[in-house]
Amino acid sequence: MTDTKTLDEAAIALLVDRFYDRVRRDPELGPVFNNAVHDWDAHKATLVDFWCSVALRAQSYRGNPMAAHRGHAIHAEHFTTWLALWERTALETVGPDNTRTLMAIAERIGGSLQYGLGLDPNRRPLGLEVIGG
């Protein structure tokens, strides 16, 4: 079955708006984001530019995602929650075909951010190394 929804700037803007409204209310992600974001309208506009740039090659985003995430209380588990919420919101907003595309991008970006922030999700916490193995 094909997805009849068009992935364009308007669709991405709707997705970003709905997604970050959910993030703000999420018990795990809300405290992190609400502590870091002081102007939600500006943040959402920046994220629309970002997603249009990565998904539509719009070249509208000018920023440094890694620098924007440094210094915040972000843990590897947050990425799992973020991705699940992103996928659910995308499915409802842009349809399954577009969600597959956006999820592939989100997973790649999430992995890069985790690596860059020293949050390798495959690394065991300190003190849990296998002894003699």
pLDDT at 60: 82
Query: What pLDDT does residue 96 have?
Result: 96
Distances (CA, A) of 76 to 66, 93, 100, 111, 112: 15, 26, 22, 10, 12
- 127 burial (CB, 10 Å; 0-12 / 13-18 / 19+) is exposed
Per-residue pLDDT of the chain (133 residues; tens, 9 = 90+): 445 689 999 999 999 999 999 999 999 999 999 999 999 999 999 999 999 999 999 988 777 776 676 777 788 888 899 999 999 999 999 999 999 999 999 999 888 888 888 876 565 444 333 433 3
In angstroms, rounded to a whole number, what is the distance separating the alpha carbons of residues 58 and 50? 9
Residues 6+ apart with CB under 8 A from 86: 19, 102, 103, 106
Domains and CATH numbers, the chain: 9-116 (1.10.490.10)
Note if the pTM is more than 0.75: yes
Chain centroid, CA 60 distance in Å:
18
